[in-house]
Amino acid sequence: MSDYMTALPEIFLLSMACVVLTVDLFLKDSQRNITYLLSQVSLGLTLLLTLAYQPHGTQLAFNGTFISDLMSVVLKCFVYVVTMGVLLYSRRYLQDRGMFKGEYYVLGLFGVLGMMIMISAYSMLSLYLGLELMSLSMYAMVAFCRNSKRASEAAMKYFVLGALASGILLYGMSIIYGMTGSLNIIEISRSLAEQGSSVGVLLGLAFIVVGLAFKLGAVPFHMWIPDVYHGAPTAVTLYIASAPKIAAFAMTMRLLVEGLGSLQADWQTMLMVLAVLSLGLGNIVAIAQSSIKRMLAYSTISHVGFLLLGILAGTGEGYAASMFYALTYALMALGGFGMILFLSRKGFEAEELDDFKGLNERSPWFAFMMLIILFSMAGIPPTVGFYAKLSVLTAVVNVDLIWLATVAVIFSVIGAFYYLRAVKMMYFDAAEDQSELQPCLSFRFALSANGLTVLALGLFPAGLMALCAAALNG
Amino acid sequence: MENLYLAIPLAPLVGAILAGLFGHQIGRTASHWVTILGVGTAFALSLVAFNHIVFDGGEVFNQSVYTWMVSDGIRFEVGFLVDTLTVMMMCVVTGVSLMVHIYTIGYMHDDPGYQRFFSYIALFTFSMLMLVMSNNFMQLFFGWEAVGLVSYLLIGFWYKKETAIYANMKAFLVNRVGDFGFLLGIAAVLMYTGSLDYDTVFAAMPSLVGQTIEIIPGSPWDVITVICILLFIGAMGKSAQVPLHVWLPDSMEGPTPISALIHAATMVTAGIFMVARMSPMFELSETALSFILIIGATTALFMGLIGMVQNDIKKVVAYSTLSQLGYMTVALGASAYSAAIFHLMTHAFFKALLFLAAGAVIIAMHHEQDIRKMGGLKKYMPITYWVSLIGSLALIGFPGFAGFFSKDAIIEAVHHSEIVGASYAYFAVMAGVFITAFYSFRMFFLVFHGETRMDEETKSHCHECKPVVTVPLILLAIPSVIIGALAIGPMLFGDFFNGVIFVDPSRDVIAQVGEHYHGVWSFVLHGLSAPAVYLAFAGIFSAWFIYLKRPQLATLFYNRLRPLHSLLEKKYGFDEFNAAVFGGGSLKLGNLLWKFGDIKLIDGLLVNGSAKAVGWFSGKLRHIQTGFLYHYAFAMIIGLLLLLTWFVVR
């Protein structure tokens, strides 16, 4: 396969994003649905291309700066599917608020392109380019609703902190480059295995870990998450909260595990600190939130803690568990924020927890869907969240870090409180808002499919788990 | 044959599900039809199986039909062991159950829970069949608990009645004690043999002889004895042996058909069946056999004594059931397993008959159960009168009737037994004969003879019941007369139980009795020359003399023997003792744990305390999120610096 064929999905999506950008210029506001459909079609076709041209084994391209393997295929496919869900869920929200503009879709597509490059990057340079492409798109999306003070503030914070984090990451990368003489992941890995650990390498490692921690949103580099999630329009929050986590997981895997794998003993301890802090702070502070968007933001932080647990276990089992966690968390986050969009309507943001009161009276079916998603986030069987947590914990226990597993379980128990409180509000409190739910059929259908997938994956997790294991160990 | 065996328990189950879940859709008539069809099918197929195994000499079926799970090398299976013992039990269970089903149409006619009732008794039949057909301990336990569950549901069938709820709670709790022992026994079996399958366990048992277990350090106990006694504790609960008998008299709060089916004919004999099934195990421990013998003898004698002072028609029959269960247990203890099973079978028929007859009387008397308010019912209810007479004669062991053969065999067997406690048991069963005859005929005379003591209102409505009630009575009366004479030869002295029941040759009392057995007639004649029969006659005569001839004697005895009478009326104070010590004790303990452990420690400190702490902490911690960009950046820098100092500088 030639280099260009290996990167065909990326090239295709780039062209399509440009096409969407151009086409959108010539559309009237009333024709904006064309932009929407074109974006969805682009993502769908990229999905098909990715599947059709998937490599046998590992395929390197562009002088080893780009990789295509089973892991990249699986992660990318999830990114497409989740993003398609995001576009579908957010359409009506954007229409109701006069934000149904081409920019959302173009930026969204470029963001996806960035994620794809992050997933497939095999050199620190391409990795950084992908990361910046994604981040810049997201900064712009947060600020997308220019009139909103809150959104602008969030975008500003996000941008400044993101730039700081990027700088730190880049600094770390440059130190590693200085120590190993290469930007290429394989070369770095080879060189480090020879020279072993040194102060210089550790310095670089620490900076890289901080950069990664910011992108993932691990404590104490999480500060942007609550403010950005809360400040951004919900449609954008939905975008930021779901697919980018998959890309961030890929970046962590490429950099830490594949590139700096020989320093595992060092980064294991660092991640441990980050994981415990994230689990603790995320779960505890989420309890004090009254806004569901902020609550889910803190919940994200705690989930990142779990994600890190699997990686720091440092075994194939742990990586697979972590990947499973990242994929299923993206689905849960999609459903959770999707539910907020579902309840919102023109002139009304269903952002407060109280807006979920009595949902069961208004729509028993969607209350049930939300129940599944919340149960899954809390890790209650038979939803997929339980299995994801279980496999991560098993991996951690298998490397004799029993105390860490215990801490994780205790914080999960504390965390279960705020998920269950939301469930209690849906089922046992009287509804304050009796207005009819408006979403269209496709939204209803997609949200139901989303909830049921979370349930079905919990009942039959073996297939996806085997796929994750194969992707990482194959 | 496998499909046939599978169909036998499943047919009543299907009936139970249809009547239970769809009872209101399909209506009352359809509900009783589906369950009767299910049980009828099971009965017919049981007869086919009986014919196949007993008369055609078919292969014993011992196979698993479904593997539930395999865990740590232990197989949990559903399997059937169908041999002569099983087919006999199957016929008795389904036969009596079928009669009770039909009878119920009349008895429960106006009850709002009609469909529920049919569903329960069909479910019971399924559970009992699973119990007797099992080839492993797991399924045995399943059936054991399932019959217990249905029994519990049926005792409290009239769940708005305070006493019924009390009674079913009591049955539940007392059976818990027994079942706990039973479960420990099964666990011990599993621990020492690594298997739950009967065949494997029995084969492994001889290798355990002489092994000891130290439950309390310093006192080694024989493993087999421990296992047998634990299993027997289960049987004591289910088969209502002293001191776990207290639930059975109270269980009479349930509808009468249930008392006949579950609390007389079938479920309460599950313990007897289980011990007989486990004979290869029990034979290895003489200590356990002595224990069984003494418990059984005590139950047989002392429960009969209580029966003498009861005035509730169902309670009299209930105490007689306890006493007869004692007889069966005595037979087990004396290693006369076949005699125990034989008595189980005859007892199933005549006791079901007596209960159903009592039920007929209760219907006629408009749910009046006090025998002091009856009398002279003979002319109102001729059919019930005659079948009750047959049942009572069978119960007291009148020569020629079913009970005569089985009870006489037990008495003879105990007479020959030489293990510890045998002489006490012999005395108990002999005295029991007189007592049985006395209370049976006391009730019989008070109900059917003498002057009518009911009020005019009741008298004007008193008449014989409908055929759905009387036909089952007649159908049960037939085996109550003849089954003993028919079955004694093959069952006790033939090779019916060869390869099924194992008896150590040194204790084979039935073989010793069999040396003198020369056919049914000589057995009857021999019986006439033995003291037992005369004790029975004496019992009838005393009852007749005291309650019909000279009624003032009853009052006289009552006044003279008041302390004894009140002791019997209080049932030796078991209930008071249990209520004060176990009931009161656990209430006090529970209160203490609740007030201190639950409210203060768990609710107060652990649950609410930690929740409050987390909530407080959460409230404090959220202020870290100040909203100021420079704070955020500062936090990141600090985090980076900490990582650097911690990991790099070190």
A160 interfaces chain B, CB cutoff of 8 Å: yes
Average pLDDT estimate for B232-258: 90
pLDDT tier at A474 (50, 70, 90 boundaries)? low
Tell me the percentage of chain B whose pLDDT exceeds 90. Answer: 43
Closest CA to B283 of B499, B96, B432, B506: B506
Average pLDDT estimate for B224-231: 93
A414 interfaces chain B, CB cutoff of 8 Å: yes
**pLDDT on residue B491:** 85
Average pLDDT estimate for B261-277: 90
A–B: how many Cβ contacts below 8 A? 78
Per residue, the 3-state secondary structure of A422-433, as one string, reads: HHHHHHHCCCCC
Question: What pLDDT, in 10s, does the model give residues B362-404?
Answer: 888 888 888 888 888 888 888 999 999 999 999 998 888 999 9
In this predicted structure, the answer to whether residue B575 has a pLDDT above a threshold of 90 is: no
Chain B contacts in chain A segment 188-207 (CB below 8 A):
199, 202-203, 205-207
How many angstroms away from the CA of B146 is the closest CA of chain A?
Answer: 28
How many angstroms away from the CA of A161 is the closest CA of chain B?
Answer: 6
Q: How many residues does chain A have?
A: 474
Q: Decide if B622 and A288 are in contact by the 8 Å CB cutoff.
A: yes
In this predicted structure, the answer to whether residue A377 has a pLDDT above a threshold of 90 is: yes
Q: Report the alpha-carbon distance of residue A136 to residue A150 in Å, rounded.
A: 19
Mutate to test the interface with A, among B636, B637, B645 (most CBs of A within 10 A): B636
**pLDDT on residue A382:** 87
**pLDDT on residue B562:** 83
Closest CA to A270 of A220, A199, A215, A198: A220
Question: What pLDDT, in 10s, does the model give residues A264-320?
Answer: 988 999 999 999 999 999 999 998 888 999 999 999 999 999 999 999 999 999 999
Question: In 3-state terms, what secondary structure has residue A221?
Answer: coil
H helix and E strand count, chain A = 21, 2
Per residue, the 3-state secondary structure of B149-190, as one string, reads: HHHHHHHCCCCCCHHHHHHHHHHHHHHHHHHHHHHHHHHHHH
Q: Report the alpha-carbon distance of residue A418 to residue A424 in Å, rounded.
A: 10
Q: Decide if A202 and B648 are in contact by the 8 Å CB cutoff.
A: yes
Query: CA separation (Å) from A357 to A283, A292, A337, A418?
Result: 22, 12, 16, 14
Residue of A nearest to B649 (CA): A199
Closest CA to B371 of B458, B254, B482, B454: B454
CA atoms within 13 A on the CB side of A254: 33
Q: B248, B316 in Cβ contact below 8 A? A: no
Residue of B nearest to A223 (CA): B632
Q: Report the alpha-carbon distance of residue B108 to residue B100 in Å, rounded.
A: 11
pLDDT tier at B604 (50, 70, 90 boundaries)? confident
H helix and E strand count, chain B = 29, 4
Average pLDDT estimate for A65-74: 93
Residue of B nearest to A283 (CA): B618
Mutate to test the interface with A, among B626, B640, B641 (most CBs of A within 10 A): B640
Tokens representing residue A46 in the block: 């990229």
A79 interfaces chain B, CB cutoff of 8 Å: no
Q: Which of A161, A281, A286 sits opposite B632 (nearest CB)?
A: A161
DSSP letters of A376-439?
Answer: HHHT-TTSHHHHHHHHHHHHHHHTT-HHHHHHHHHHHHHHHHHHHHHHHHHHHSPPS--PPP--
Which residues in A lie closer than 8 A to residue B623 (C-beta atoms)?
none
Question: In 3-state terms, what secondary structure has residue B43?
Answer: helix
Q: Decide if B625 and A220 are in contact by the 8 Å CB cutoff.
A: no
Helix (H) or strand (E) holding B482: helix B467-488
In this predicted structure, the answer to whether residue A69 has a pLDDT above a threshold of 80 is: yes
Residue of A nearest to B629 (CA): A157
Alpha helices in B243-336 (DSSP H): 247-250, 256-260, 270-277, 279-282, 286-307, 313-333
**pLDDT on residue B141:** 94
Q: Report the alpha-carbon distance of residue A158 to residue A215 in Å, rounded.
A: 11
Q: Which of B625, B638, B643 sits opposite A226 (nearest CB)?
A: B625
Query: CA separation (Å) from A97 to A40, A100, A101, A349, B421?
Result: 21, 8, 10, 11, 93
List of residues 6+ apart from B478 with CB closer than 8 A: none
Residue of B nearest to A231 (CA): B627
ipTM value for the complex = 0.87
**pLDDT on residue B525:** 85
Q: Report the alpha-carbon distance of residue B401 to residue A279 in Å, rounded.
A: 79
Q: Which residues of B touch A (CB under 8 A)?
A: 611, 614-615, 617-619, 621-622, 624-625, 627, 629, 631-633, 635-636, 638-640, 643-644, 646-648
How many angstroms away from the CA of A374 is the closest CA of chain B?
Answer: 20
Q: Hey, which residues does B221 pair with through a beta bridge? A: B213
Chain B contacts in chain A segment 110-129 (CB below 8 A):
none
Question: What pLDDT, in 10s, does the model give residues B482-491?
Answer: 988 888 888 8
Between B58 and A246, name the one with better pLDDT.
A246
Tell me the percentage of chain B whose pLDDT exceeds 70. Answer: 100
How many angstroms away from the CA of A417 is the closest CA of chain B?
Answer: 9
Residue of A nearest to B617 (CA): A284
List of residues 6+ apart from B321 with CB closer than 8 A: B240, B248, B263, B264, B268, B351
pLDDT tier at B533 (50, 70, 90 boundaries)? confident
φ, ψ for residue A320 (rounded to 5)? -60, -40
Long-range Cβ contact pairs of A93-99 (< 8 A, separation 24 or more): A93/A233, A93/A234, A93/A235, A93/A341, A93/A344, A94/A235, A96/A344, A96/A345, A96/A346, A96/A347, A97/A145, A97/A233, A97/A346, A99/A144, A99/A145, A99/A233, A99/A235
Cis peptide bond N-terminal to A382, omega within 30: yes
Which residues in B lie closer than 8 A to residue A213 (C-beta atoms)?
639
Average pLDDT estimate for B321-350: 93
In this predicted structure, the answer to whether residue B650 has a pLDDT above a threshold of 80 is: no
Question: What pLDDT, in 10s, does the model give residues B107-159?
Answer: 888 888 899 999 999 999 999 999 999 999 999 999 999 999 999 999 999 88
Average pLDDT estimate for B41-66: 90
In this predicted structure, the answer to whether residue A171 has a pLDDT above a threshold of 90 is: yes
Helix (H) or strand (E) holding B61: strand B61-71
Question: What pLDDT, in 10s, does the model give residues A399-442?
Answer: 999 999 999 999 999 899 999 999 999 999 888 877 777 778 88
How many angstroms away from the CA of B467 is the closest CA of chain A?
Answer: 53
Q: Hey, which residues does A123 pair with through a beta bridge? A: A184
Q: Decide if B639 and A210 are in contact by the 8 Å CB cutoff.
A: yes
Between B611 and A233, name the one with better pLDDT.
A233
Which residues in B lie closer than 8 A to residue A167 (C-beta atoms)?
none
Q: B432, B327 in Cβ contact below 8 A? A: yes
DSSP letters of A4-20?
Answer: HHHTHHHHHHHHHHHHH
Which residues in B lie closer than 8 A to residue A176 (C-beta atoms)?
none
Question: What pLDDT, in 10s, does the model give residues B422-433?
Answer: 999 999 999 999
In this predicted structure, the answer to whether residue A238 has a pLDDT above a threshold of 80 is: yes
Q: Which of B638, B640, B647 sits opposite A168 (nearest CB)?
A: B640
**pLDDT on residue A1:** 67
Q: Decide if A289 and B622 are in contact by the 8 Å CB cutoff.
A: yes
Q: Which of B619, B627, B638 sits opposite A288 (nearest CB)?
A: B619
**pLDDT on residue B301:** 92
A8 interfaces chain B, CB cutoff of 8 Å: no
> Cα–Cα–Cα angle for B594, B599, B603, nearest 5°?
125
A210 interfaces chain B, CB cutoff of 8 Å: yes
In this predicted structure, the answer to whether residue A88 has a pLDDT above a threshold of 90 is: yes
Burial of A2 (0-12, 13-18, 19+ CB in 10 A): exposed
In this predicted structure, the answer to whether residue B86 has a pLDDT above a threshold of 90 is: yes
How many angstroms away from the CA of A221 is the closest CA of chain B?
Answer: 5
In this predicted structure, the answer to whether residue A229 has a pLDDT above a threshold of 90 is: yes
Other beta carbons within 10 Å of B367? 8
Which residues in A lie closer than 8 A to residue B614 (C-beta atoms)?
284, 287, 414, 417
Mean pLDDT of all residues belonging to chain B: 89
In this predicted structure, the answer to whether residue B46 has a pLDDT above a threshold of 80 is: yes
**pLDDT on residue A467:** 92
Q: Decide if A210 and B619 are in contact by the 8 Å CB cutoff.
A: no
Tokens representing residue A194 in the block: 């020879």
